[in-house]
Chains A and B, each alone.
Chain A
């Protein structure tokens, strides 16, 4: 046993909370995406921790799928940033008010 069983879960929750804070508080759209990556990574930590505790490879398979989804999210999200940047330069989300309607 490398760590107390709750330690990995606690670490994952702390990282996820930091990601939530970054996503909600930052005003730069790229840093918001990066905070989402931090959250996905936190979920991966907890999946691998459960996989090790239960002695099963299923958690790692799920973490692999999460990594694929993270890569897809990066591609689509940054494509959106390019499309937005063409209309209005800059990466702040405060000015993007016409997306409401």
Chain B
């Protein structure tokens, strides 16, 4: 595949994931929202594939789209929300929420404009804002064959990151115990 077509696929994935995320948070029916979130997760998995993270793309599809999202859908159907579609979907303060959400892209945009300005004129790293992006961009051009394959991740997971990896299993165990304690009917077990 040529570079141009790979870039076209990347931009399609980015646009589709943003569109499906927007639809997911604005649809009236919760089940429709879940299906749009499913579309978002699949497109994000495609972005992971393009970025060279094959293992994470598989984990994204198996764990996020396969387990977590089905879990949420089960819950929606368990809870039986007949009047959910009738009530207002947003609180009255939604313009404030929209402003808070817009502030993140604006911040990143400001950081990048500032970085381009720094790279163009002054010495890199002299400015206080956004200086961290420029060295990363320059190192990418000098990088040789792409790393970050499955073998690298496995060696990192069971080498220097063995302790955090085990901590993740402890977190999951705590979540299982906590969910059982929270969802148990009161007075039945104790």
Contacts and interface: CB of A to CB of B under 8 A. Distances in A.
A40 B81 CA distance: 26
B109 to A, nearest CB: 7
B182 A71 contact: no
B30 interface: yes
Contact of A79 (B44, B93, B137, B179): B179
Contacts of A50: 136
Contacts, number: 261
Interface residues on B, range: 35 or more
Of residues B17, B94, B165, which shows the largest number of chain A Cβ atoms within 10 Å of its Cβ? B17
Contacts of B40: 15, 38, 41
B101 A21 contact: yes
Given A13-B107, A24-B101, A70-B64, A79 B25 contact: no
* Interface of B, helix, strand, loop or mixed by DSSP: helix
A52 B146 contact: yes
A57 B153 contact: yes
Interface string B77-110: 0010101100111110110111011111101110
B129 interface: no
Contact of B91 (A2, A25, A34, A85): A25
A58 B157 CA distance: 9
B18 to A, nearest CB: 5
30 contacts: A2-B51, A12-B108, A15-B40, A21-B94, A21-B101, A24-B96, A30-B72, A31-B33, A34-B72, A37-B64, A38-B37, A38-B40, A41-B41, A44-B56, A51-B53, A52-B53, A55-B139, A55-B140, A61-B153, A61-B156, A64-B168, A67-B64, A71-B67, A75-B176, A75-B178, A78-B71, A81-B79, A82-B182, A83-B182, A90-B84
